[in-house]
């Protein structure tokens, strides 16, 4: 019976892994597409080969915490990169998770992120606090 279970689990697991890979790949690609369409003027990122996150680095490091805060107030959750550093240093990074969201939620969330980032960048530029 363990041989039958082993064959079943092997076949079942391979199919499940393939299904999940396709699901997460589609979500990752939706996030990357939304970022390319909306965030190119404000940030850079690397296409992840694995995992459930895209690391976004804002062109203006001082915007990360206020962007995350305003997005949270708008109902879009993300985490500033300083939370993942041993020294807590602010480097302008934001960790975006795509594993739990639908592709529609990803698109809507990136739209909010882009609007908030543009608004804060504009406010800082108007106040003369944007670094060159």
DSSP states of 12-34 as a string?
HHHHHHHHHHHHHHHHHHHHHHH
pLDDT tens for 26-50 read: 999 999 999 999 999 999 999 999 9
Reading the block at residue 3, the tokens are 């041989």
Which positions ≥6 away from 57 have C-beta within 8 Å?
43, 44, 45, 81, 91, 92, 93, 94
pLDDT tens for 55-101 read: 999 998 789 999 999 999 999 999 999 898 888 887 889 999 999 99
pLDDT tens for 94-121 read: 999 999 999 999 999 999 999 999 999 9
Domain ranges in the chain? 27-127
**Which CATH architecture best describes the domain 27-127?**
Alpha-Beta Complex (3.90)
């Amino acid at each position: 019976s363990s041989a039958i279970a082993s064959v079943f689990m092997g076949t079942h697991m391979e199919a499940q892994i393939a299904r999940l890979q396709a699901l997460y790949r589609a979500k990752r690609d939706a996030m990357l597409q939304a970022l390319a369409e909306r965030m190119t003027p404000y940030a850079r990122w690397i296409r992840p080969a694995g995992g459930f996150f895209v690391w976004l680095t804002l062109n203006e490091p001082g915007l990360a915490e206020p962007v995350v805060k305003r997005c949270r107030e708008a109902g879009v959750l993300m985490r500033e990169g300083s939370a993942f550093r041993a020294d807590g240093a602010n480097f302008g990074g934001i960790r975006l998770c795509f594993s739990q969201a639908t592709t529609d939620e990803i698109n809507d969330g990136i739209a909010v992120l882009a609007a908030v980032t543009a608004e804060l960048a504009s406010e800082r530029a108007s106040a003369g606090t944007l670094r060159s």
